[in-house]
């Protein structure tokens, strides 16, 4: 008897009264809007002190002196932690026990490796005293020239990119195919460094109780962080409790443990009192990761009919001087367009910045804006409509591997999106559309794509004697709605109504939910919950079908279905009994089952798994002044089963806004001499404001995927950015006839010289 | 952070006495000053908090037609004063195009006049900046200077004045009323800010202890009410400082311009009144050719101070647009996106 029998083959969502698929509002929404939701920094254990980071203003060199005495003399300052007195760690912060353990700064020496690196921590009775103490440290440095920019130092081929992909890959002979192509284009695109800029800064409240450690901190990976901390502090993982019920945005920036979190824990150890450490906004531009700048060169070849013959996508990226993380910007080209020859190559430089990290749609976001721009440039060279060109080069199988797709309803996205947008009215020639006021109008589109990943995660499900259920998994709600979506899956998994199920998440003592990232959390944890529910129902069914007193006796597990808190005979639904009745008769308080979610190696071997979408954008551009406004956006997405359409819509819209941001707004301005980020605040680091965003329409097309996981979930957290950024860039080019290849597009790119 | 005294005077006279000490600074709403203090960019020895001085919070519509605006009137309150917005629509539009609703609700008009440059190197105490530390050099010269000045800059400093409000004030001959240890005086707003020359640290003609008590708009400026616009080009459609902005006012009689006012923002260390352009416009038919001549004249002396040559054609085009929009007539209601090019019907596209 397999646990899936009851549910997977008879999908839970088809059950009458299913909770999956309902556009429920967030169950934590009210707590959030009324301020009752307690984020990490809202915790104030008694006796708590405040810790403030002192950070470096140089990007490379040594700290020569710190005026610790002055800081300590300030009233309220309890301690100053520097490399001279910080408590020991049991593992080297510069060690590399596993690929997910990034090297970090925990005051291990006097080296400065990037601007805004922590160089001391001041701990005081009040935030003000700690802040003042940090200012009084007045560090002096021995500075060395900072290495900044994509042309700094010697470029090298990185060992791997992204999460272990080869830095060079060839499918067919792209160089030869390019040489033999009727049409060729070569274009170079640049994207700047991006910072996560979550509303909630990184924060930690740490308390030692003997050798037990209690932490409140936002994290996208509870158990992974716990393991890393256990190693660093030499204590058993069970002795660490991390609470992270809500994140005020993560975007990858809270995916891995950050050094500053360790500093908060060390500070608590040093003073033997609970300590709160919250990074200031400008301090977030350094030790907490960012997206590497990229310079991408695309070479495309096509035959006279507009069939792609080759794509070579090369990306120059940057990492820090001391750690390796390589934005896999070229990899999007492996999956999207059907070219017989595809090459992707990388080279990299080391810069004196913090280590780059996953930022929402890592690799794919900057890769997609370059690829979608280049594809439009090629369509134009072929005299073809951009959508017609994409359809002509539609990949029926994954181009770089030849694998079939587990599902791919991209054609429906193209067709339905184009129809709703009115795409086919679009004139081929750029700079031909004007609105009634004379503004240039441009229409652009882009294909969205994101891999449908799964990590490994676990869940536990319990049916209690009163018939209600409890489902637990150490899952993470970053604001995406995990509390709600998982509760919906849990309700269906137990065949109960939502209000009969208690869902627990957000702490490290619950079953390991893996990492909330890669758009894989719903698929991973959802599958675990689904399987845990199936396991517990199976146990109930065993109890009933083997008990002569049960109306289900002899039905066999496969002959039983679960519905509304009851088990029913499949061949006679009039015969059944409630969970409560089964447990009462068996004299049990509860039954428990566990389930796991993890990728199926066989399915991954045979199928390429990706979400897809098509984004259409309209922009208006002032012909004389170069100011751009996005006036319309429609996104059509194929992302497998939709657990909660309302949450999905929010994710897609949020992603599309990130796309607008990538194309038109976002840029960390790094001074090439000092290595300091000159716009490290939300006033000057532009992201779109309401006036920049039109009413965005999104919808999902039907897509049934029997291979990704039992629930058919593909993930929607990141795909919205991809396609959208390119659509906006292409719309700007269509409006103006000017192809901007350095992002974000700025007024200076579009303002015409005066005739 | 520096230790500083905090005093809360009961009157303007007391405020002046308190602010005459060296290193004192007036604190209005602090939306600029407190940011700079937190960043350790400025370190006043004494803060003289004037925010509660109700004597400075009035908008007076005088019998002679002048309007006198107390220095502590909030940006939002002035922009939303019905008769002010009717008589001085371009000023209201400029105010509403600045910052965000929250900031406009807090910020005072006096503080707006004296807000500091947004040059990122000025804001970064670890960078060399002649304005912050005379003689320290100017890191903007070889740094990120995409948004810096194209007019009136010097080798010592290429920063711009970021205020929107000041631009139409300069155009419409606003007068600044000042009180200080040496008594009262009045100066034209146009004369308030200084070009950097070799002393960029000196940004205004105010002497230590001097306080702005009011801004006055002369009755004559109301003559432009029917043809007045403020337009602001920016990198996002709201909540961004101007790349370049322009205030234009015209008096048009039978299709001919009798009087013109023109000033630019985002191009220099002060709001840039374009008097030569104004003179060229007077007497000409209100149309593209006059506007283009005026624009060319206004930018004749412009030269890039770095990676910002685009500002010159941009400013020229914006002048043409602002004049055309003004000629077309002040909109009957405030555009939903004040000062946005997308709220001006261009009418002059090639
Ligand atoms: C994120 C952000 C975006 C912004 N965007 C814009 C924008 O787009 N356009 C724009 O124009 N502005 C913008 N501003 C600036 C804003 O308009 C100013 O910060 C505000 O007007 C200052 O007013 P305040 O009352 O807060 O002045 P304060 O910060 O209190 O004072 C500013 C300066 O003026 C001095 N001062 C204040 N009042 C007097 C007085 N009566 N007499 C003598 N000296 C005085 C102070 O000593 C100080 O030096 C922005 C500000 C921020 C923070
Ligand atoms: S431009 Fe002026 S304000 Fe900016 S760094 Fe140079 S001197 Fe300082």
Residue A38 has pLDDT above 50, yes or no: yes
Q: Kindly tell me the burial class for residue A613, based on how many C-beta atoms sit within 10 Å of its own C-beta (0-12, 13-18, 19 or more).
A: buried
Distance CA A713, CA A492 (A): 15
Give me chain A's average pLDDT, please.
95
Per-residue pLDDT reduced to its tens digit, A112-169:
999 999 999 999 999 999 999 999 999 999 999 999 999 999 999 999 999 899 999 9
Ligand number with the minimum distance to the CA of B157: 2
Domain-embedded: residue B132 = no
Calpha distance B268→B299 (Å, rounded): 11
What residue owns the CA closest to ligand 1's atom 23? Answer: B111
Q: Are residues B97 and B197 in the same domain?
A: yes
What's the longest Cα–Cα distance across chain B? Answer: 63
> What's the average model confidence in pLDDT over B85-103?
97
- B310 near B234, Cβ under 8 Å? no
Question: How much is the pLDDT for A8?
Answer: 35
Same structural domain, B197 and B247: no
- pLDDT over 80 (residue A531): yes
Handedness of CA A390, A395, A398, A399 (dihedral sign): negative
> Searching chain A, which residue's CA lies closest to the CA of residue B124?
A678
Query: In this complex, is the C-beta atom of A438 within 8 Å of any C-beta atom belonging to chain B?
Result: yes
Residue A3 has pLDDT above 80, yes or no: no
Helices B288-298, B311-328: crossing angle, 10 deg rounding: 140
* Closest residue in chain A to residue B308, using alpha carbons only: A748
The pLDDT > 70 percentage for chain B reads 98
pLDDT for residue B346? 53
Which residue of chain B has the CA closest to A746? B235
Q: How far is B201 from chain A (nearest CA, A)?
A: 21
Closest to A677 in 3D by CA, of B240, B308, B121, B37: B121
Q: What is the CATH number of domain A457-598?
A: 3.30.365.10
Find the ligand nearest to B121 CA. Answer: 2
Q: What sign does the CA torsion over A543, A545, A546, A549 have?
A: positive
Q: Give the C-alpha distances (Å, rounded to integers) separating B45 from A73, B21, B215, B345.
A: 21, 9, 27, 50
Contact call for A751 and B314, based on CB within 8 A: yes
CATH value at residue B25: 3.30.43.10
Q: How many Å lie between the centroid of ligand 1 and the Cα of residue A418?
A: 47
Question: What is the Cα Rg of chain B in Å?
Answer: 20
Cβ proximity of A352 and A60 under 8 Å? yes
Q: Say what the pLDDT of residue B345 is.
A: 66
pLDDT in the model for residue A330: 98
Could you tell me where the DSSP H helices lie in A137-168? Answer: none
pLDDT at A16: 45
HEC letters along A586-646 = HCCCEEEEEEEECCCHHHHHHCECEEEEEEEEEEEECCCCCCEEEEEEEEEEECECCCCHH
Question: Across residues B300-320, what is the average pLDDT?
Answer: 98
Q: Is the pLDDT of residue A5 over 50?
A: no
Produce one character per residue of B122-161: b if its CB has 16 or more CB atoms within 10 Å, e if not: bbbbbbbbbbbeeeeebbbbebbbbbbbbbbbbebbbbbb
Domain that holds residue B21: 5-52
Within 6 A (CB) of ligand 1 lie A 683; B 25-33, 35, 71, 75, 98-99, 103, 107-108, 110-112, 114-115, 162-165, 211-212, 241
Answer yes or no: do B105 and B231 share one domain.
no
A9 pLDDT band, cuts 50/70/90, is very low
Structure confidence at residue A727 (pLDDT): 98
Q: What is the mean predicted confidence (pLDDT) over A402-413?
A: 98
Predicted local distance difference test score (pLDDT) of residue A320: 98
In a domain, B122, yes or no: no
Which atom, in ligand 1's list, is nearest to the CA of B75? 21
Average pLDDT score over residue span A545-552: 95
Q: Residue A558: pLDDT band by 50, 70, 90 thresholds?
A: confident
Structure confidence at residue B349 (pLDDT): 47
In the predicted structure, residue A15 carries a pLDDT above the cut 50: no
What's residue A755's pLDDT?
55
**Together in a domain, B16 and B47:** yes
Tell me if residue A570 falls in helix, strand or coil.
coil
Q: Are A461 and A3 in contact (CB under 8 A)?
A: no
Range list for CATH 3.90.1170.50 in chain A: 47-145+198-250+254-284
The pLDDT score that the predictor gives to residue A17 is 55
- Alpha-carbon distance B139 to B143, whole Å? 6
Residues forming beta bridges with residue A504, ordered by sequence position: A472
Measured from the CA of B159, which atom of ligand 2 is nearest?
1
Within a domain: residue B241?
yes
CATH of the domain at B165: 3.30.465.10
Domain-located, residue B137: no
pLDDT in tens, A249-291: 999 999 999 999 999 999 999 999 999 999 999 999 999 999 9
**B219, B237, B253 - which closes a domain:** B219
Q: Which residues neighbour A678 within 8 Å (Cβ) at sequence distance 6 or greater? A: A669, A670, A671, A684, B120, B121, B124, B143, B144
Separation of alpha carbons A464 and A326, rounded Å? 48
pLDDT at B216 over 70: yes
**In the predicted model, what is the mean pLDDT of residues A455-459?**
97
Whether residue B127 lies inside any domain: the answer is: no
Q: pLDDT tens digits, residue range A565-615?
A: 999 999 999 999 999 999 999 999 999 999 999 999 999 999 999 999 999
pLDDT at residue B350 tops 60: no
Residue A104: pLDDT band by 50, 70, 90 thresholds? very high
Give the 3-state DSSP-derived string for B312-327, with helices as H, strands as E and coil as C. Answer: HHHHHHHHHHHHHHHH
**A47-145+198-250+254-284: CATH architecture:** Alpha-Beta Complex (3.90)
Q: Which of A674, A691, A753 sits opposite B127 (nearest CB)?
A: A674
Largest separation between any pair of C-alpha atoms in chain A: 95
Domain with CATH 3.30.365.10 in chain A: 294-453+605-750, 457-598
**What pLDDT score does B3 carry?**
84
Q: Would residue B191 count as lying in a domain? A: yes
DSSP per residue, A450-485: EE-----EEEEEEEETTS-EEEE-B---SSS-HHHH
**Residue B231 predicted with pLDDT over 90:** yes
Chain B contact residues (CB < 8 Å to A): 1, 40, 118, 120-121, 124-127, 139, 142-144, 146, 233-240, 243, 295-296, 308, 310, 313-314, 316-318, 320-321, 337, 340-342, 345-350
Nearest CA distance, B18 vs chain A (angstrom)? 26
B143 interaction partners in chain A (CB closer than 8 Å): 671-673, 678
Q: What whole-number distance in Å separates Cα of residue A74 and Cα of residue A643?
A: 55
pLDDT value at residue B347: 53
Instruction: Find residues 347-406 of chain A whose CB sits inside 8 Å of chain B.
Output: none
Judging contacts by C-beta atoms under 8 Å, the chain B residues touching residue A753 are: 313
Residue closest to A509 by CA, chosen among A455, A473, A562, A550:
A473
Q: What is the mean pLDDT of chain B?
A: 96
Of the bound ligands, which one is closest to the alpha carbon of residue B132? Answer: 2
For B296, nearest residue in chain A (alpha carbons): A754
Q: What is the pTM of this model?
A: 0.97
CA distance B51 to chain A (A): 23
ipTM of the complex: 0.96
CATH architecture of A294-453+605-750: 2-Layer Sandwich (3.30)
At residue A18, the pLDDT reads 83
pLDDT at A287: 96
Q: Which of B39, B141, B158 to mutate to test the pocket of ligand 2 (most atoms within 8 A of CB)?
A: B158
Where does A210-284 show beta strands of DSSP type E? Answer: 212-216, 240-243, 275-278
Q: Is the peptide bond before A332 cis (omega within 30 degrees of 0)?
A: no
């Amino acid at each position: 008897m397999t646990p899936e029998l009851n549910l997977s083959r008879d999908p839970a969502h088809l059950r009458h009264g299913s909770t999956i698929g309902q556009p429920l509002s967030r169950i934590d929404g009210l707590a959030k809007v009324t301020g009752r939701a307690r984020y990490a920094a809202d915790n104030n254990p008694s006796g708590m002190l405040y810790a403030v980071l002192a950070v470096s203003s140089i990007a490379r060199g040594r700290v020569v002196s710190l005026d610790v005495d002055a800081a300590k003399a300030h009233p309220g300052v309890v301690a100053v932690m520097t490399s001279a007195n910080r408590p020991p760690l049991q593992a080297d912060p510069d060690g590399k026990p596993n690929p997910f353990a990034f090297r970090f700064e925990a005051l291990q020496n006097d080296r400065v490796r990037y601007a805004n690196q922590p160089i001391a921590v001041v701990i005081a009775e009040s935030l003000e005293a700690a802040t003042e103490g940090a200012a009084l440290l007045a560090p002096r440095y021995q500075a060395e020239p900072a290495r900044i920019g994509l042309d700094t130092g010697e470029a090298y081929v990185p060992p791997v990119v992204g999460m272990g992909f080869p830095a060079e890959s060839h499918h067919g002979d792209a160089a030869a195919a390019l040489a033999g192509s009727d049409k060729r284009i070569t274009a170079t695109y640049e994207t700047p460094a991006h910072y996560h800029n979550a509303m909630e800064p990184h924060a930690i409240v740490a308390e030692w109780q003997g050798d037990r450690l209690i932490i409140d901190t936002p994290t996208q990976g509870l158990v992974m962080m716990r393991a890393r901390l256990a190693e660093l502090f030499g204590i058993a993982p069970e002795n660490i409790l991390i609470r992270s019920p809500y994140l005020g945005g993560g975007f990858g920036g809270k995916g891995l443990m950050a050094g500053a979190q360790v500093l908060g824990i060390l500070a608590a150890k040093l003073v033997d009192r609970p300590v709160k450490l919250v990074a200031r906004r400008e301090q977030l531009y350094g030790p907490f990761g960012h997206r590497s700048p990229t310079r991408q060169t695309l070479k495309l070849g096509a035959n006279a009919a507009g069939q792609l013959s080759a794509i070579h996508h090369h990306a120059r990226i940057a990492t820090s001087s001391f750690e390796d993380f390589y934005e896999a910007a070229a990899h999007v080209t492996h999956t999207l367009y059907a070219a017989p020859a595809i090459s992707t190559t990388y080279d990299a430089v080391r810069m004196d910045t913090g280590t780059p990290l996953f930022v929402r749609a890592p690799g794919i976001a900057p890769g997609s804006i370059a690829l979608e721009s280049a594809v439009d440039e090629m369509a134009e060279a072929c005299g073809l409509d951009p959508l017609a060109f994409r359809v002509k080069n539609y990949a029926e199988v994954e181009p770089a591997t030849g694998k079939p797709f587990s599902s791919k309803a991209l054609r429906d996205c193209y067709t339905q999106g184009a129809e709703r947008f009115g795409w086919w009215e679009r004139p081929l020639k750029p700079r031909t559309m004007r609105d009634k006021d004379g503004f240039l109008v441009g229409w652009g589109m882009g294909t969205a794509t994101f891999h449908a990943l799964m990590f490994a995660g676990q869940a536990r499900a319990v049916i209690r004697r009163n018939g209600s259920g409890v489902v637990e998994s150490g899952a993470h709600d970053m604001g995406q709605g995990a509390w709600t979506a998982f509760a919906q899956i849990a309700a269906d998994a137990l065949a109960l109504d939502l209000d009969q199920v208690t869902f627990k998440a957000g702490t490290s003592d619950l079953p390991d939910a893996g990492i909330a990232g890669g758009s894989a959390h719903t698929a991973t944890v959802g599958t675990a919950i689904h399987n845990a529910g199936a396991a517990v129902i199976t146990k109930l069914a065993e109890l009933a079908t083997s008990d002569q007193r049960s109306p289900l006796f002899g039905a066999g597990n496969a002959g039983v279905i679960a519905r509304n808190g009851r088990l029913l005979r499949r061949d006679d639904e009039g015969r059944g009994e409630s969970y409560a009745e089964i447990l009462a008769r068996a004299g049990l308080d509860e039954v428990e089952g566990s389930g796991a979610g993890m990728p199926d190696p066989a399915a991954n071997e045979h199928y390429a798994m990706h979400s897809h979408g098509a984004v259409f954008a309209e922009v208006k551009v002032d012909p004389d002044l170069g100011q751009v406004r996005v006036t319309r956006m429609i996104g059509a997405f194929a992302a497998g089963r939709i657990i909660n359409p309302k949450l999905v819509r929010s994710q897609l819209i949020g992603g599309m806004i990130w796309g607008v941001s990538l194309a038109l707004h976002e840029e960390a301005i790094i001074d090439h001499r000092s290595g300091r980020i000159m716009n490290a605040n939300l006033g000057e680091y532009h992201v779109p404001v309401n006036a920049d965003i039109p009413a965005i329409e999104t919808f999902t097309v039907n897509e049934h995927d029997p291979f990704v996981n039992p629930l058919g979930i593909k993930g929607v957290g990141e795909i919205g950015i991809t396609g959208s950024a390119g659509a906006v860039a292409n719309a700007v080019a269509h409006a103006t006839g000017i192809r901007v290849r350095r992002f974000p597009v700025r007024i200076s790119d579009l303002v015409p010289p005066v005739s | 952070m520096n230790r500083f005294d905090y005093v809360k005077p009961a009157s303007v006279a007391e405020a002046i006495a308190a602010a005459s000490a060296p290193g004192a600074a007036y604190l209005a709403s602090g939306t600029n000053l407190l940011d700079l203090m937190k960043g350790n960019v400025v370190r006043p020895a004494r803060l003289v908090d004037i925010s509660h001085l109700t004597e400075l919070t009035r908008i007076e519509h005088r019998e002679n037609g002048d309007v006198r605006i107390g220095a502590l009137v909030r940006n939002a309150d002035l922009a939303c004063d019905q008769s002010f917005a009717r008589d001085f629509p371009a000023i209201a539009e400029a105010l509403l195009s600045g910052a965000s609703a929250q900031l406009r609700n807090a910020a005072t008009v006096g503080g707006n006049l004296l807000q500091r440059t947004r040059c990122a190197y000025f804001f970064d105490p670890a960078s060399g900046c002649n304005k912050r530390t005379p003689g320290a050099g100017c890191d903007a010269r070889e740094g990120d200077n995409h948004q810096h000045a194209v007019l009136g800059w010097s080798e010592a400093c290429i920063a711009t004045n970021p205020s929107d409000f000041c631009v139409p004030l300069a155009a419409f001959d606003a007068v600044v009323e000042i009180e200080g240890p040496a008594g009262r005086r009045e100066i034209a707003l146009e004369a308030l800010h200084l070009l950097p020359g070799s002393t960029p640290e000196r940004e205004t003609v105010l002497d230590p202890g001097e306080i702005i008590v009011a801004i006055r708009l002369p009755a004559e400026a109301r003559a432009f009410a029917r043809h007045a616009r403020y337009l602001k080009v920016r990198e996002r459609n709201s909540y961004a400082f101007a790349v370049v902005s322009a205030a234009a006012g015209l008096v048009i009689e039978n299709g001919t311009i009798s009087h013109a006012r023109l000033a630019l923002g985002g191009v220099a260390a002060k709001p840039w009144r374009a008097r030569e352009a104004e003179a060229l416009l007077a007497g000409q038919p209100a149309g593209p050719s006059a506007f283009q001549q005026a624009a060319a004249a206004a930018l004749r002396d412009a030269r890039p101070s770095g990676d910002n040559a685009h500002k010159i054609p941009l400013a020229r085009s914006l002048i043409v647009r602002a004049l055309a929009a003004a000629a077309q007539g002040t909109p009957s209601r405030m555009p939903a996106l004040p000062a946005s090019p997308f709220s001006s019907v261009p009418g002059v596209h090639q």
